[in-house]
Amino acid sequence: AVVYNVHGGFGTVDGIANTTANQVIYHWVNYGDDLLATVVPNAGYHLVNMTVNDTYTIQANQWQFNDIIATQYVDVSFAKDHIAITTTEFGNGTVSAGESFDYDPAHTYTFTATPTVGNHIVSILRNNQPLTITTPEAAYTETLTNITMDYNYVVRFESNFYDITATAGTHG
């Protein structure tokens, strides 16, 4: 057998999901079998380390067992990802403050970009991808849920310009 002691977070070991943050999982094998032990963290978590029979594997997520003739022990440590949301604005307007936090599937973040009077939103990039702005003179808002990665918002505001056409009558 291969005995996994999983702690600190959530993921899968050899395709078997751990359901609590600290759990022992048994993978039964036949005498003399080979096994590629694979550890995969769930979204929002990362592998801190894996030791095999008390040998550190330098954050490797796989270990090859050959000709298993005795119980093998694998210690797996997961941890929550630390997530950062950053915001930057150029021009006359305001954007929500960024924040950072440890992964939590219930955490939400609401981003708002609001042009000041006489200005409009030219562009919003989220992780270098342009967002569709339907009403540039109004505030843009979106809410992120189950956040599993970093986000970066960059907003560009510009002043509104209006064309004025002046005409003179026949007497000047």
Better-predicted residue by pLDDT, 14 or 171: 14
Beta carbons within 8 Å of 15's beta carbon, 6+ residues apart: 38
Better-predicted residue by pLDDT, 166 or 42: 42
pLDDT > 80? residue 172: no
What confidence tens digit (pLDDT) does each residue in 35-91 have? 999 999 998 999 998 899 988 776 678 899 999 999 999 999 999 999 999 999 999
Contact 29, 2 (CB under 8 A): yes
What confidence tens digit (pLDDT) does each residue in 103-127 have? 998 999 999 999 999 999 999 999 9
Better-predicted residue by pLDDT, 89 or 20: 89
Contact 56, 49 (CB under 8 A): yes
| pLDDT confidence band for 151 (50 / 70 / 90) | very high
Q: How many CB atoms within 10 Å of residue 14? A: 16
Contact 57, 123 (CB under 8 A): no
Threshold 0.95, pTM exceeds: no
